């Protein structure tokens, strides 16, 4: 990763610590430990630090996250599957692992892993996943087995069920929510799934 930003003497202490944790979480996810207790602890610390970052610093990390997700132009079920911004799908998507979507989808999305909806994404149907992170637009109900994160500038219209909900300033949420640690959802797919299945119709 290229993590150059601004002169070191201009970086806030919160930025430096968030940057360190960002690198650590990146390494954990890259080595297949993204769902470990250590990774969850890192995410918790990052959520607290996020509130102390400037708009410029937040924009930097969002841009970095988008580039990191979009780095692979060939989805692989052994890592993180990617649907880029130029992809349009009509039909269901089922993936047992991590999935990043930055395009348009009209159909149900189901994942047992971490599902990230990118800034350019436009999703129109139900979403079910272990952990859901939304940067873009979603119209449809959501069920998150562990946590749902609504990032600033995202637009979510629908009802939500999650064990935990994180809503950033600037996020738009129109609908009802049921949030409780006692909620039991998932796994949404059999654990022995080894491939991504979807119905695809590219729009000209």
Both tokens assigned to 79: 């890592």
- Domain segments of the chain: what residues? 10-70, 80-198
Mean pLDDT in the chain? 77
Q: Which residue has the higher pLDDT, 182 or 18?
A: 18
- Other Cβ atoms less than 10 A from the Cβ of 7: the count is 6
Whole-structure pTM value? 0.56
127-136 mean pLDDT: 92
pLDDT band with cut points at 50, 70 and 90 for residue 23: confident
String of DSSP letters for the chain:
-----S-GGGS-HHHHHHHHHHHHHHHHHHTT-TTSHHHHHHHHHHHHHHTTS-HHHHHHHHHHHHHHHHT-SS--TTSEEEE-TT-EEES-EEESSEEEE-SEEES-EEEEEEEEE-TT-EEES-EEEEEEEESSEEES-EEEEEEEEE-TT-EEES-EEES-EEE-TT-EEES-EEE-TT------S-TT--S-EE------
Query: CB-side exposure of 66: number of CA atoms within 13 Å?
Result: 19
pLDDT above 50 (res 142): yes
pLDDT (average), residues 145-163? 92
Q: Report pLDDT for 199.
A: 36
């Amino acid at each position: 990763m290229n993590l150059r930003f601004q002169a070191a003497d201009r970086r806030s202490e919160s930025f430096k610590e968030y940057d360190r944790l960002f690198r650590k979480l990146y390494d954990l996810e890259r080595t297949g430990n993204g769902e470990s207790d250590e990774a969850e602890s890192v995410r918790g610390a990052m959520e607290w630090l996020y509130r102390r970052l400037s708009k410029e610093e937040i924009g930097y990390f969002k841009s970095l996250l988008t580039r990191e997700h979009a780095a692979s132009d060939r989805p692989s079920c052994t890592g993180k599957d990617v649907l880029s911004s130029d992809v349009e799908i009509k039909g269901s998507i089922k993936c047992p692992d991590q999935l990043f979507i930055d395009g348009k989808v009209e159909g149900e999305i189901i994942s047992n892993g971490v599902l990230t909806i990118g800034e350019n994404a436009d999703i129109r149907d139900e979403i079910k996943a272990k952990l859901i992170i939304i940067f873009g637009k979603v119209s449809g109900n959501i069920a998150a087995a562990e946590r749902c994160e609504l990032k600033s500038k995202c637009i979510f219209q629908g009802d939500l069920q999650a064990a935990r909900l994180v809503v950033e300033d600037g996020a738009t949420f129109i609908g009802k929510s049921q949030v409780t640690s006692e909620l039991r959802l998932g796994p949404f797919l059999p654990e022995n799934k080894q491939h991504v299945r979807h119905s695809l119709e590219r729009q000209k």
